[in-house]
Structure 1
Amino acid sequence: MAASSSSAPDKCPVDHSSLPPSAKGASDACPVDHTTRSTWDRFLSPDRARRPDTEVSLSSEREVSSIPKPNDSNWVYPSEAQFFAAMARKNHNPQAADMKTIIPIHNAVNERAWGEIMKWERGKGGEACGGVQLVNFKGRPNDRTPKARLNELLGYAAPFDRHDWVVDRCGTRLRYVIDFYTGSASSKGDNISFYLDVRPALDSWEGVKMRLERLLPWS
């Protein structure tokens, strides 16, 4: 089960202990740690103007997500300063000017992923105990899911990232697999498009049952 190897509930993908004081925040986290340069370059215009980082002020404000945690609070997204520091620490050559573009996309990806999970969870009884909560998560960009590998063999594009999210539904732990794909941009080139393939993992009877119900709605 992914729960044994995933981040602890309050562990943030951004290592706050190594951030400058101005970038440190609470020990909350966002579920998706898309801090690799290759991931975010695909969302940025190749001819975007560069400004010296000394001219760019990075915000330390953080947005609270809609994703519940087990301790009756919600996961919190990183600030521009935290995201920049995390990328810099991993030697991904971040540009401060890009943070104002990256952060909204990053947050939207999280919200979209949670929204897709909630579609699966609708009618499963999570409301009886206050709602489904995200317990932990793990980024696995180098681990292709069987479905993603099959799609590649059929000629489809590979996902640019993969995550496993573990949710709690009234005491039942369930792992969800999320493959992240880049979608087609608009003709004007001014809209970011992405596609998320979200589904319960097949490592539990509950996950298998939910997948069968989606495939065979009369079952």
Structure 2
Amino acid sequence: MGNSAYSKVHMEAAKAMPADHAKYMTNAGAAAPPPECPMHQKQGDNQSSASAVPPHPKMQASECPVKHDSADVNPLNMMPPANQNPAPDQPFPLPTDRQTSSIPKVTEDGSAQFWQYPSQQMFWNAMLRKGWRWKNEDISQKDMGDIIRIHNANNEQAWQEVLKWEALHAKECGNPRLKSFGGKAKDFSPRARFRSWLGYELPFDRHDWIVDRCGKDVRYVIDYYDGGVIDKDYRFALLDVRPAMDSVDNVWDRMRVAYMRWRFEITEKLGVNSKVTAGSE
């Protein structure tokens, strides 16, 4: 049930978001985003011993550089403190251990640290804040474990796609880091809307990620589409990751990549045609 529950939870929660949700989204951490994806939360103290993405042995897991009270947020990324408390009427206990990701984050002192994914308890609480109610879904403890694995796999996959774009700027910055991000599930991107007009399904979720390219903030748009069957690595979403068209550099990058893809397709077709012609002689 993992992937279907994951997409259903996101879609149902999206319906309950306020109409002015988009105003909380930030391009450079200037305002506090609402806790859409639980990955927005501040990292906790616990780390899963069964992490599927082990941290680099010389690096630290991410810890918030400032002390929080119940009302504070991290000024670097505007993320609120983690909520590891069981929710009222929760039908079963959920683990609070967390997995360290492979995604580097911006830190106050410049040290190498990584984002931590939400625990099952944090994910549950975040979904309740988004309007989801467990009583409307047939969900079990195992499903929550699967949902966390899917969520983490999706974000790892998204970061790898971001790095492909960032490779265009490897000479100017060899260490891009994720600064902040926010969920915009109800705010479909122009490309997603255009695809829907052509008959394709709309994404079940959208995130905007702010990547620090060695001092320069670059916004990425990520559309998450339901890929159907979950694979052995808990990946099922089809991701459309690209720089937002909000700067000249981003537009130029998209033009470059579009050209490279077009050239590759033409070269591949010519190669296949030449093989077919040679084989028929």
User: What is the aligned partner in structure 2 of residue 88 from structure 1?
Assistant: 128
Structure-2 residue corresponding to 1:2: 27
Cα–Cα, structure 1 residues 134 and 7, in superposed 2: closer, same or farther, change >3 Å? Answer: farther
Does the residue aligned with 1:2 lie in a helix, a strand or coil?
coil
Q: Distance in 1 between matches of 2:123 and 2:223?
A: 22
For the 8 Å contact 2:182–2:209, the answer to whether it is kept is yes
- Residues of 2 paired with 1:76 and 1:15: CA distance? 8
1:138 aligns with 2:215: no
Counterparts of 1:44-83 in structure 2, within 5 Å, are 54=91, 56-71=92-107, 72-83=112-123
Report deviation, 1:12: 6.0
Q: Helix, strand or coil for the counterpart of 1:202?
A: coil
For residue 23 of structure 1, what is the aligned residue in structure 2? Answer: none
1:171 aligns with 2:215: yes
Determine if contact 1:140/1:161 at 8 Å carries over to the other structure.
yes
Which has the greater radius of gyration? 2
Counterpart AA for 1:69: K
Contact 2:210–2:220 (CA under 8 A) maintained in structure 1: yes
- The secondary structure found in structure 1 opposite 2:149 is helix
2:159 to 81, 105, 114: 114
CA distance in 1, matches of 2:106, 2:144: 29
Equivalent position of 2:194 in the other structure: 150
User: Whole-Å Cα distance in 2 between the matches of residues 62 and 142 of structure 1?
Assistant: 28
| Partner of residue 20, structure 2 | none
* Contact residue 221 and residue 243 of structure 2 kept, 8 A: yes
The answer on 1:193 being equivalent to 2:236 is yes
Computed over aligned residues only, the root mean square deviation of the Cα atoms, in angstroms, reads: 3.4
1:159 paired residue number: 203
Q: Distance in 2 between matches of 1:70 and 1:103?
A: 24
Contact 2:150 2:236 in 1 (8 A): no
Secondary structure of 1:92's counterpart equals: coil
Give secondary structure in 2 for the equivalent of 1:122: helix
- Percent identity reads 41
Q: TM-score, normalised by structure 2?
A: 0.57
Q: Tell me which residue corresponds to 1:13.
A: 40
Give the structure 2 partner of residue 211 of structure 1: 254
Unmatched segments (≥5 aa) in structure 1: 17-25, 32-51
Shift of 1:184: 2.8
Aligned residues: 183
Say whether the 8 Å CA contact 1:84–1:96 is kept in structure 2: no
Assess if the C-alpha contact under 8 Å between 2:154 and 2:235 holds in 1: no
Aligned equivalent of 1:38: none
Distance 1:92 1:27 in 2: 28
Distance 2:237 2:146 in 1: 15
Gaps of 5+ in 2: 1-25, 44-62, 66-73, 78-88, 264-281
Residue 100 of structure 2 contacts residue 115 of structure 2 at CA under 8 Å; is this kept in 1? yes
CA distance in 1, matches of 2:39, 2:154: 17
Helix, strand or coil at the partner of 2:169 = coil
| Alpha-carbon distance between aligned partners in 2 of 1:89 and 1:61, rounded to the nearest angstrom | 20
